[in-house]
Structure formats: structure tokens, C-alpha cells
């Protein structure tokens, strides 16, 4: 059966997360239903990573197996037709090798987190950013972020329900920048690693927000990391500012 890679963009707000759930809407379930419209029967797709409820994606990647040898462009168009009006879009499709896997073939994942700094309620960006009403010190946050780079035991920044076999991960990038968005000043966190623990990025951002607000020092981040206990973590930030931005593979998958 031909195997196809799908590059997926979605808004997380209406969904209970990526993973198919029995009684709640999910992104995986929406795509599998669309696949059933073009090929009768049940479908199970695999993704590069599972996103939680409210988390968005700019470049999630999944794969599916189909009986028909589809032209990737026509497959892309057919799935988008059947996904309407849900906020999910297939923005790329490609034929891949039979042993290619969206999750296990991936070399890295990149996440983006957006904070909007303004007092007036967000309108166009509602549900797409974490909104706060105070300014943040970007330099201090980057100093705290630098404490987390490299290979560490990230137990402090790991959800208590995380199912990963080990809390040891290598963080390749955690870059903090401020820019002027259309709705107001924003802080963007760019986070990159081969793999992540459950709630790791949101734990990072929530902790670094405390540094930017002056409640923590950059050294406090190092102390929290070395404590290796969940109780040392700062507040876990809400999901709506988080985006799975890109998944990297040994060879480019989509043109």
C-alpha cells in the first residue's frame, strides 16, 4: 500500500488534542474521517508528536497508508475538501517510502510559543496567544533559558503524568525574542530538540515568564533544574500560545 506523508496545520482551540478520543473532537479523528471519505473503511494515522488540548500546529506531520496510488496534489485537495469547515488543513502531501514513519523517522521537533503583552483583551489573536498585562525582561529570560540548554535530567519540567521512559533530554535551542506584532508587543520562544517530555515547553515558558517579570532570577532556573523535582518548577503556562512549528527529517519530505 502506498504511504503518504501529510503536513498539517490546525488551530487547537476546538479540539481535545491531537490524539483520537472516543467522546471528544480531536485532530487525528478529523483527518481519519476525511480519509474514510476518499477510501472506505477505518484509518489509523501516526503523527510526529501528540499535541494537548488547545495547542496549535503550523507544521505537524503525519503519515497514512492508502490503497490507491494518489497524486499528492489531488490527495491534498481531496482531504481539505472533506475537512471543511474544521480549522484543520493539509498544507502538503508527499509519497514516502513504505518504512518511513512520521514519528520514528524524525530528527527534531521545533515549537513556537507566543506571549502577547497588552492590557486590552485580545480580539483577533484570542485563543492564539498567552496574553499578559505586564512587560517582560527579554534579556533576563534569555539568561534563564541558557541555563536549560544541553543534556539534562528535566524532571522538574516534566508533567507528573508524563509517560516517557526517561526524563533525560537534550535541548538544542531555547531562544527568546521580542517583536512588534499587529496586536501589540509579543515575546516569542523558539524551542528545538529531538524529543520532548509532556508539558516540557509550557513548563519552560511559565518558569521563564516569572524571570521576565522579576519574580525569579536566572540562577533560580538553574536551581530548579538541579532540584529534579516537579515542585521546583514555576507555573505551567496555558496551552493557547503553543505551536508545533516544524518537524525535521534526514531528507526534505515536502517541496
Catalytic positions? 52
Which residues are within 8 A (CB) of 55 and not within 5 positions of it... i.e. 6 or more apart?
Answer: 12, 17, 239, 240, 242, 243, 244
Mutual orientation of helices 138-146 and 218-227 as an angle, nearest 10°? 30
Nearest to 202 by CA among 147, 232, 243, 141: 243
Tell me whether residue 34 is exposed, middle or buried, using C-beta atoms within 10 angstroms of its C-beta: 0 to 12, 13 to 18, 19 or more: buried
- Torsion over CA: 121, 112, 19, 197 (sign): negative
Q: Measured in whole angstroms, how far is the alpha carbon of residue 127 from the centre of its chain?
A: 15
Residue 228, phi then psi, degrees to nearest 5:
55, 45
CA distance 141 to 222: 12
Q: Measured in whole angstroms, how far is the alpha carbon of residue 116 from the centre of its chain?
A: 18
57, 244 contact by CB (below 8 A):
yes
CA distance 61 to 106: 9
Q: How far is CA 83 from CA 28, 36, 51, 53, 245, in A?
A: 11, 11, 19, 19, 21
Amino acid at each position: 500500500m502506498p504511504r503518504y506523508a501529510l503536513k498539517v496545520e490546525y488551530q487547537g482551540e476546538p479540539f481535545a488534542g491531537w490524539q483520537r478520543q472516543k467522546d471528544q473532537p480531536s485532530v487525528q479523528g478529523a483527518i481519519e474521517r476525511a480519509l474514510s471519505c476518499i477510501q472506505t473503511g477505518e484509518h489509523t494515522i501516526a503523527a510526529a508528536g501528540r499535541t494537548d488540548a488547545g495547542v496549535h500546529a503550523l507544521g505537524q506531520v503525519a503519515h497514512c497508508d492508502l490503497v490507491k496510488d494518489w497524486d499528492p496534489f489531488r490527495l491534498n485537495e481531496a482531504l481539505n475538501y472533506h475537512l471543511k469547515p474544521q480549522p484543520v488543513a493539509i498544507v502538503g502531501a508527499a509519497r514516502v517510502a513504505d518504512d518511513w514513519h512520521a514519528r520514528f523517522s524524525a530528527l527534531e521537533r521545533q515549537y513556537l510559543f507566543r506571549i502577547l503583552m497588552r492590557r486590552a483583551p485580545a480580539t483577533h489573536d484570542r485563543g492564539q496567544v498567552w496574553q499578559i498585562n505586564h512587560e517582560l525582561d527579554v534579556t533576563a529570560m534569555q539568561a534563564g533559558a541558557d541555563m536549560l540548554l544541553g543534556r539534562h535530567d528535566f524532571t522538574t519540567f516534566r508533567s507528573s503524568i508524563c509517560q516517557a521512559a526517561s526524563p533525560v533530554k537534550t535541548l538544542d535551542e531555547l531562544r527568546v525574542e521580542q517583536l512588534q506584532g499587529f496586536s501589540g508587543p509579543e515575546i516569542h520562544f523558539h524551542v528545538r530538540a529531538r524529543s520532548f517530555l509532556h508539558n516540557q515547553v509550557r513548563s519552560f515558558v511559565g518558569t521563564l515568564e516569572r524571570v521576565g517579570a522579576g519574580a525569579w532570577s536566572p540562577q533560580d532556573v538553574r536551581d530548579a533544574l538541579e532540584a529534579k523535582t516537579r515542585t521546583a518548577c514555576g507555573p505551567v503556562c496555558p496551552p493557547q500560545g503553543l505551536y508545533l512549528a516544524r518537524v525535521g527529517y534526514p531528507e526534505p519530505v515536502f517541496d
